[in-house]
Structure 1
Amino acid sequence: MEVKIGVQHSPRELVIDSPQTPDEIAAEVTKAMSGATKDSLLTLVDDRGRRVLVPVDRIAYVEIAQADQRRVGFIAGS
């Protein structure tokens, strides 16, 4: 899954490719935003096992979508 996180006062968004399902990611975001965790961080792990920590009070939005299938090749003719 591709997860895009908008961070307040930042012109760029964080983009993470996660092996988790959309429901698992939504549950992590909801748990972090509700204050159910002891720290105020949203923690996600990407496909390579890297951990990304985002302060909850700086999150503007979270978008969960299917990862784009990158196409390789050329379009012939027009």
Structure 2
Amino acid sequence: MEIKIGFVDSPRELSITMEGSQEDLAGRIHDALSQTQGTLDLQDTKGHRFIIRNERIAYVELGKGQARPVGFAGI
């Protein structure tokens, strides 16, 4: 699942690909963002870890939780 995080006072966003269901990730993100001075700690599918201060997050966009097909479709 792809997650996009927008930041306050920045036109750029952070895009992270993570494993898990949309409901589970939404719950984790909501719990973390409910703390004003806390951090959001995420790890992508490649093992990279992202620790983000909650006060700098403007929005979080959760993509669809479906798997992508693998292979060549038109052959």
Let me know the Cα RMSD of the aligned residues: 2.3
The unaligned stretches of length 5 or more in structure 1 are: 70-78
**What does residue 9 of structure 1 align with?**
9
Instruction: Quote the offset at 1:49 in angstroms.
Output: 1.3
Choose 1 or 2 for highest CA Rg.
Answer: 1
Please identify runs of 4+ aligned residues in structure 1 that moved more than 3 A.
Answer: none
Identity %: 38
When normalised by structure 1's length, the TM-score is: 0.75
When normalised by structure 2's length, the TM-score is: 0.78
Question: Number of paired residues?
Answer: 69
**What does residue 48 of structure 1 align with?**
46
Q: Secondary structure at the match of 1:20?
A: coil
**What does residue 65 of structure 1 align with?**
63
Instruction: Quote the offset at 1:66 in angstroms.
Output: 2.5
**What does residue 19 of structure 1 align with?**
19
**What does residue 72 of structure 2 align with?**
none
The unaligned stretches of length 5 or more in structure 2 are: 69-75
